């Protein structure tokens, strides 16, 4: 199947500048293509992942992806969809973020000869102001620039000249990659359409109208309820395991709505059409098994993190579901209980009744004794019904944690001081 046909089947194409020409080009040779990300932070989140999943598909189909880490464009900031200017970062912070994003991209795409990671600071920083105005500014019509959606949306509240010129810099990127690396296709999110077409216009003005250059955008990802994909109550879902643990990452995918899961299998996994059809059938006939969500969580977690991260996430999930938390390692406790209520504990042993009251897990000693006697309290997975039981915080989990459970589902993580 031609890569363009595959993307169409996956509902992954929003717009193309010339679909027939692009299909013909990708059928006849290995194509250079690119997508960029600005180092506005030190990690991508899953919203960023969408166009790069498409880039990965091109790579697997034998084409050559170029990834631009936008050290140049990121130093000035693009005009976001918000009604305000971006706060400029120090160049020290920009360079730190560049390194972090380069490491993430290397992990996702590998380090073989069929992938190139470049930084547009390397060529944009060499253009003087006069050269920029003479060589590129003359080729851009202000009226056309104002008509671009991302600029037009900002006209009422205002936009600085710095952010206004962003589309020129991104256009220079496309021209540079075509000239020096034969990159003929740029892909991006739906909001990048104006920047992409501006780049193609620049190429045609500089290299001739018959120069083959193409653009492709990915649809805006919305959930079945109409809200934006990728956001949770806790904020963005990051690819950096320090910001979003692999367990949290796995759980995000596992908890997807039945109405969305097949779409996400198409977008975020490399399963075949036959495999996805089987999962679609399971969603329709046995949704309670959540087989599609489980496969989605496994595939994306393995792609972003590792097979070991999947095993660990499933181990944590099984332990929390069964209550057998004693089987977890200290590292797994840190992941699985990261967002659960926590209490501070002293390192010294303490009577269970006193501990429950002192941490306010129980409202009174009477209530604590009643819950203990009735078997409602578990410490580190073990049911405790002895009112004289003494909790030794240093006994389990390297002396760092005590897991307290009241009832069937209410957990607290005791963090040991000292």
Token duo for residue 224:
């079945």
Q: Supply the pLDDT for residue 47.
A: 87
> Is 166 annotated in some ligand binding site?
yes
Active site residue 395: no
Q: Which candidate in 5, 11, 29, 82 is catalytic? A: 82
Q: Which candidate in 15, 17, 23, 40 is catalytic? A: 40
Q: Supply the pLDDT for residue 153.
A: 74
Looking only at the bridges linking them, the beta strands covering 401-406 and 410-416 are antiparallel
Q: Which candidate in 15, 17, 45, 102 is catalytic? A: 45
Q: Give 102's contacts (C-beta < 8 A, 6+ positions apart).
A: 69, 117, 119
Q: Supply the pLDDT for residue 369.
A: 95
Q: Which residue has the tokens 């897990």?
A: 361
The gap from C-alpha 304 to its chain's centroid, in whole angstroms, comes to 9
pLDDT classification of 68: cutoffs 50, 70, 90: very high
Q: Residues 222-272: pLDDT tens digits?
A: 888 888 787 666 678 999 999 999 999 999 999 999 999 999 999 999 999
Active site residue 326: no
Q: Which candidate in 29, 228, 289, 365 is catalytic? A: 228
Model confidence at 149: pLDDT above 90:
no
Has domain 3-218 been given CATH number 3.10.20.740? Answer: no
> Is 264 annotated in some ligand binding site?
no
CA distances from 393 to 325, 355, 418 (A): 15, 11, 11
Q: Which candidate in 106, 134, 180, 232 is catalytic? A: 232
Active site residue 167: no
Yes or no: say if 230 and 264 are a contact pair by the CB < 8 Å rule. no
Q: Residues 21-61: pLDDT tens digits?
A: 999 999 988 999 999 999 988 999 998 888 999 999 999 99
| Category of 38 on φ-ψ map: left (φ > 0), alpha (ψ -120 to 50) or beta | beta
Active site residue 48: yes
Active site residue 231: yes
Token duo for residue 250:
């796995």
Q: Per-residue DSSP letters for 33-62? A: EEEEE--SSSS-BHHHHHHHHHHHHHHHTT
Which backbone phi and psi does 151 adopt, to 5 degrees?
A: -85, -45
Q: What is the CATH number of domain 342-416?
A: 3.10.290.10
Active site residue 82: yes
How many residues make up the chain in this entry? 418
Active site residue 45: yes
**Alpha-carbon dihedral angle through residues 277, 279, 283, 286, given to the nearest 10 degrees:** 120
Q: Residues 272-330: pLDDT tens digits?
A: 999 999 999 999 999 999 999 999 999 999 999 999 999 999 999 988 888 888 889 99
Q: Supply the pLDDT for residue 224.
A: 84
- Judged on CB neighbours under 10 Å (0-12, 13-18, 19+), 402 is buried
Q: Which candidate in 10, 86, 295, 305 is catalytic? A: 86
Q: Which candidate in 181, 191, 243, 369 is catalytic? A: 191
> Is 231 annotated in some ligand binding site?
yes
**Least confident among 81-85, 117-121, 412-416:** 81-85
Active site residue 400: no
104-117 average pLDDT score: 87
**Which is nearest to 170 in space by CA: 238, 124, 234, 217?**
124
**How large a percentage of the chain has pLDDT more than 90?**
68
Model confidence at 84: pLDDT above 80:
no
Model confidence at 133: pLDDT above 90:
yes
Active site residue 228: yes
Q: Supply the pLDDT for residue 320.
A: 84
> Is 251 annotated in some ligand binding site?
no
Q: Per-residue DSSP letters for 92-131? A: HHHHHHHHHHHHHHHHHH-SSTT-EEEETHHHHTT--HHH
Q: Which candidate in 10, 48, 56, 290 is catalytic? A: 48
Domains of the chain, by residue range, sit at: 3-218, 231-322, 342-416
Q: Which CATH number fits domain 231-322: 1.10.579.10, 1.10.240.10, 1.10.10.200, 1.10.1380.10?
A: 1.10.240.10
């Amino acid at each position: 199947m031609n890569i363009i046909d595959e993307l169409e089947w996956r509902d992954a194409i929003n717009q193309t500048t010339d679909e027939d020409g692009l299909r013909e080009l990708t059928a006849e040779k290995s194509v250079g293509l690119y997508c960029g990300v600005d180092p506005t932070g030190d990690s991508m989140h899953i919203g960023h992942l969408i166009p790069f999943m498409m880039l990965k598909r091109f790579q697997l189909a034998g084409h050559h992806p170029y990834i631009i880490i936008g050290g140049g464009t990121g130093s000035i900031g693009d005009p976001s969809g918000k009604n305000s200017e971006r706060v400029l970062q120090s160049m020290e912070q920009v360079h730190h973020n560049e390194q972090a994003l380069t490491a993430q991209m290397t992990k996702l795409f590998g380090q073989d000869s069929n992938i190139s990671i470049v930084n547009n600071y390397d060529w944009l920083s060499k253009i003087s102001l006069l050269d920029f105005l003479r060589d590129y500014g003359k080729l851009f019509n202000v009226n056309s620039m104002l008509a671009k959606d991302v600029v037009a949306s900002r006209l009422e509240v205002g936009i600085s000249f710095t952010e206004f010129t962003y589309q020129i810099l991104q256009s220079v990127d496309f021209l540079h990659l075509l000239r020096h690396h034969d990159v003929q296709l740029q892909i991006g999110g739906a909001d990048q359409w104006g920047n992409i077409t501006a780049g193609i216009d620049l190429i045609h003005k500089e290299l001739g109208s018959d120069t083959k250059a193409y653009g492709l955008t990915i649809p805006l990802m919305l959930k079945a309820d109409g809200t934006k994909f990728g956001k949770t109550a806790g904020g963005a879902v990051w690819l950096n395991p320090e910001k979003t643990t692999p367990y949290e990452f796995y759980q995000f995918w596992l908890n997807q709505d039945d109405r969305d899961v097949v779409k996400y299998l198409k977008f975020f996994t490399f399963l075949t059409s036959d495999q996805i059809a089987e999962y679609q059938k399971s969603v329709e006939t046995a949704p309670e098994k959540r087989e599609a969500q489980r496969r989605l969580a496994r595939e994306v977690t393995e792609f972003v993190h590792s097979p070991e991260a999947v095993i660990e996430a499933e181990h944590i999930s099984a332990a929390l579901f069964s209550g057998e938390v004693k089987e977890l390692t200290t590292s797994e406790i840190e992941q699985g209980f990261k967002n659960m209520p926590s209490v501070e504990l002293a390192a010294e042993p303490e009577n269970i009744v006193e501990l429950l009251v002192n941490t306010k897990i129980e409202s009174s000693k009477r209530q604590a004794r009643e819950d203990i006697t009735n078997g409602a309290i578990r410490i580190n997975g073990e049911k405790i019904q002895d009112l004289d039981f003494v909790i030794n915080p240093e006994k389990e989990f390297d002396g760092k944690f005590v897991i307290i459970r009241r009832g069937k589902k209410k957990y607290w993580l005791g963090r040991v001081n000292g």
